[in-house]
Amino acid sequence: MTAVSDARLLEVRDLSRRFGGGRTLFGVKKPQLTAVGALSLDLQKGETLGIVGESGCGKSTLARLLVGLDRPSAGTIRLDGEDLAAAGRRAVAAKVQYVFQDPVSSLNPRHTIRAILEAPMRHLLGLGKAERARRLDQLIEDVNLRPEFLERYPHEFSGGQAQRIGIARALAADPDVVVLDEPVSALDVSVQAQVLNLLERLKRERGLTYVFISHDLAVVESVSTRVAVMYFGALVETAPARAIFAAPRHPYTRLLIDSAQIPGRQRAPKSGGSGELPDPYNPPPGCAFAPRCSRAEEICGEAMPGLEARSGDSQHHVACFNPIPLAAHS
């Protein structure tokens, strides 16, 4: 275990982000929403951590916290042992970068690609003109774009090309960690593969560590080494990718996997729905999934289960009092 902890790159401890709250001018309480609640997570050097969850589960808020676009209400994020809150945004941005979901709207329509890609080099690294030009050539080649694209404007590019520019921008400052927030979900299916393959190659060549956020389980399975499942602002299960897809322990993970559409598979119609998310302004006590869960017991409605290894596998953590037994999968 010591070898693993040495390679720990990012340490997230009890991270929370709440929106709203406080009081109005007249002392009336404003509603408060917990987007991310007391979340702890470790990121190992060189891994790809896939974070899956449905809309509203807080995965994008977590991503913004990790890159310093948002400040946590409580908790700490440490990169190589250094607290990010103390480091300041520029220092964070030099080490942790972000790839946006919508490639076109993340590029300023009135800047050339050169200006967009040079900005991180100039403002984060303070590189001179000659060095910038040298790196730019390398970067544009790395993401399979032609050098003449540098003088063009974002609207002239297709979605796939624009996303490659977005990736190039994230890599311009030579970060250690790249947080990818749904990087392929806005792209056409035939283009998704190009971008996924490119990400894989860049990771290998540059020794990057990825946090890959997506709602698409098939994509997450194909790129991740480890997967974390988020529900209602908290992690409910983390495990190596193979283990979690082969033998999910949390009933919510099971539901997600069963809901995915697989080409060539036609399911027998199941009666009843999968239920609705709880009201975020009025969260249920205990486990947030309990009202939808078929395995719920009395304790699930009273106490919040901790995320811990509940079987022999020390890598497989699940936040559930009554996890699906491993035997059920064999």
Partner 1 sequence: MTSAAAAAVTAESQPRRERPSTLALLLNNRLAAAGLVVLGLVVGAALAAPILPLADPNATDPAHRLAPLFAPAHLLGTDALGRDILSRLIWGTRVSLAVGVSASLIAAVVGSAIGLVAGYAGGRSDQILMRLIDLLMAFPYILLALAIVAILGPGLINALYAIAIVNVPFFARNIRGITVGLARREFIDAARLSGKGPLRILWSEILPNVLPTIVITLSTTVGWMILETAGLSFLGLGAQPPQADLGSMLGDGRKVMFTAPTISLVPGLMIFLIVISINLIGDGIRDALDPRLRSGALARPSFRTAIAEPLDRPTAPLDAAATLDVKGLRTDFRMGPEIYHACGGVDLTIAPGQCLGLVGESGSGKSVTAMSLMGLVPSPPGIVTGGTIGFRGEDLATAKNERIRTLRGSAIAHVFQDPLATLHPLFCVGDQIVEAIRAHQPLSRSEAEGKAEELLTLVRIPNPAERMRALPHELSGGLRQRVSIAMALANDPELIIADEPTTALDVTVQADILRLLDTLRHDRKLAVLFITHDFGVVSEIADRVAVMYAGKIVETGPTTAVLADPAHPYTRMLIDCVPVMGEPERRLDAVRGRPPAVNQLPAGCSFAARCPRVEPDCSTGEIVLDEKRNGLQARCLHPLEPGETLA
Judged by CB under 8 A, the chain residues 220 through 249 that form the site for partner 1 are 221-222, 241-242, 245
CA gap 306, 294 in Å, rounded:
19
Task: Please report whether residue 109 would count as binding partner 1 according to CB under 8 A.
Answer: yes
Kindly identify the residues of this chain, within the stretch 116-155, that bind partner 1 according to CB under 8 A.
116, 119-120, 122-124
Name the minimum Å distance from CB 264 to partner 1.
5
What is the C-alpha to C-alpha distance for residues 234 and 301, in angstroms, rounded to an integer?
16
Look up residue 271 and give its two tokens: 């009666």
Q: Which of 7, 85, 218, 303 binds partner 1 (CB under 8 A)?
A: 218
3-state secondary structure 212-278: EEECCHHHHHHHCCEEEEEECCEEEEEEEHHHHHHCCCCHHHHHHHHHCCCCCCCCCCCCCCCCCCC
Residue 142: exposure state from Cβ atoms within 10 A (0-12, 13-18, ≥19): middle
Tokens of 96: 């942790």
Restricted to residues 150-169, the positions that interact with partner 1 (CB under 8 A) are 156, 158, 166, 169
Residue 289 contacts by C-beta under 8 Å, 6 or more apart in sequence? 231, 232, 236, 250, 251, 252
Q: Which is nearer to partner 1, 133 or 153 (CB)?
A: 153
Taking the CB of residue 318, how many other CB atoms lie within 10 A of it?
Answer: 28
In the structure, how many helices (H) and strands (E) does the chain have? 11, 12
Minimum Å gap between C-beta 194 and partner 1 is 4
Does residue 4 interact with partner 1 by CB under 8 A? no
Using the minimum distance from each CB to partner 1, give the nearer residue, 29 or 201.
201
Segment near partner 1 (CB under 8 A); pick from 10-18, 100-108, 295-303, 315-323:
100-108
Q: Which of residues 17-56 bind partner 1 (CB under 8 A)?
A: 54-55
According to DSSP, the β-strands at 32-44 and 8-20 are antiparallel
Q: Which stretch binds partner 1 (CB under 8 A): 9-17, 74-82, 110-118, 280-288?
A: 110-118
- Interacting residue with partner 1 among 137, 188, 297, 302 (CB under 8 A): 188
Task: Report how far residue 289's alpha carbon sits from residue 53's, in angstroms, rounded to the nearest whole number.
Answer: 13
Please report whether residue 110 would count as binding partner 1 according to CB under 8 A: yes
- Binding partner 1 by CB under 8 A: which of 35, 49, 208, 256? 256
Give just the sign of the alpha carbon dihedral 45, 48, 52, 58.
Answer: positive
Pick the binder of partner 1 from 36, 49, 51, 67 (CB under 8 A): 67
Q: Which of 148, 205, 276, 298 binds partner 1 (CB under 8 A)?
A: 276
Nearer to partner 1 among residue 262 and residue 327 (C-beta): 262
- Judged by CB under 8 A, the stretch of 1-9, 71-79, 170-178, 302-310 that binds partner 1 is 170-178
Question: Stretches 8-16, 25-33, 260-268, 304-312: which one binds partner 1 (CB under 8 A)?
Answer: 260-268
Which element (helix H / strand E) includes 46?
Answer: none
Binding segment (CB under 8 A) for partner 1, from list 13-21, 187-195, 203-211, 322-330: 187-195
Which uninterrupted H or E stretch holds 155? none
Query: Candidates 31-39, 79-87, 270-278, 282-290 — which segment interacts with partner 1 by CB under 8 A?
Result: 270-278
Identify which of residues 40 and 144 has a Cβ nearer to partner 1 in the complex.
144
Calpha distance 151→80 (Å, rounded): 37
The residue (of 256 and 310) whose beta carbon lies closer to partner 1 is 256
State the minimum distance, in angstroms, from the CB of residue 95 to partner 1. 11
- Residues 240 and 249: beta-carbon distance below 8 Å: no
The string over 34-62, giving b where at least 16 C-beta atoms fall within 10 Å of a residue's C-beta and e elsewhere, is bbbbebebbbbbebbbbbbbeeebbbbbb
